[in-house]
A and B are shown apart, each in its own frame.
Chain A
Amino acid sequence: MASHSESIIREPLITGRDITYAQITNEVLNPVENKPNKAWWIGFTVASMGALLWVVAISYTFWFGLGAWGLNKTVGWAWDITGFVWWVGIGHAGTLISAVLLLFRQNWRNSINRSAEAMTIFAVICAATYIVAHMGRPWLAYFTLPLPNQYVLWVNWNSALMMDVFAISTYFSVSLVFWYTGLLPDIASIRDRATGLRRRIYSVMSFGWTGSVKTWQRFETVSLILAGISTPLVLSVHTIVSFDFATSLEPGWHTTIFPPYFVAGAIFSGFAMVQTLLLVTRKVLGLENYITMFHIESMNKIIMLTGSIVGVAYITEFFIAWYSGVEYEQYAFINRATGPYWWAYWSMMSCNVISPQLFWSSKLRRSIKFSWFLSIIVNIGMWFERFVIIVTSLHRDYIPSSWVMFYPTWVDVGVFIGSIGLFFTMFLLFIRVLPSVAMAEVKLLLKTSSEQAKKKLILEGHLEPAEVQHYKESLVKFDSIDMSDYEKI
Chain B
Amino acid sequence: MSSTKFILGLFDDPDDMMHGIEKLQKNSVPIYDVYTPMPIHGIEAKLGIKESRLGYAAFCFGCLGATVIFSILYYTLVHDWPMDIGGKPNFAMPNFVPFTFEWTILFTAFGMTFTFFAATHLFPGRAPRVMDLRATDDRFVIAIDAKGNIPHDDITNLLKEAGAVEVKHNDRKYVSYE
Contacts and interface: CB of A to CB of B under 8 A. Distances in A.
A209 B37 contact: no
Given A154-B80, A157-B73, A226-B109, A211 B36 contact: yes
Contact of A166 (B35, B43, B99, B113): B99
A35 interface: no
Contacts of A213: 33-34, 36, 40, 43-44, 47, 49
Interface stretch (A228-236, A292-300, A372-380): A228-236
Nearest to B174: A210
Contacts of A229: 58, 62, 105, 108-109
A225 B38 contact: no
A440 B116 contact: no
Contacts of B96: 157
B26 interface: no
Contacts of B121: 208
A398 interface: no
A25 B15 CA distance: 20
Interface stretch (A85-93, A182-190, A305-313, A355-363): A182-190
Nearest to B135: A211
B21 to A, nearest CB: 10
Interface in B119-165: 119-131, 133-138
A232 B105 contact: yes
B130 A192 contact: yes
A1 interface: yes
B137 A193 contact: yes
Contact of B137 (A25, A214, A232): A25
B128 A208 contact: yes
Contacts of B42: 1-2
Nearest to A2: B14
B54 A205 contact: no
Contacts of A34: none
A166 B102 CA distance: 7
Contacts of B55: 221, 225
Given A177-B113, A225-B54, A20 B125 contact: no
Interface string A5-30: 00000000000000011100100000
Given A21-B137, A157-B73, A170 B102 contact: yes
A170 B54 contact: no
29 contacts: A2-B40, A20-B12, A21-B137, A25-B37, A158-B85, A158-B92, A163-B102, A167-B98, A170-B103, A173-B106, A188-B136, A189-B137, A191-B136, A192-B133, A207-B117, A208-B125, A211-B35, A215-B122, A217-B39, A217-B52, A218-B52, A219-B39, A221-B52, A221-B55, A225-B55, A226-B109, A229-B108, A243-B98, A439-B37
Enumerate the 9 nearest inter-chain pairs by beta-carbon distance, A residue then B residue, closest first.
Answer: A208-B126, A21-B138, A2-B14, A22-B138, A207-B122, A154-B76, A163-B98, A216-B39, A221-B52
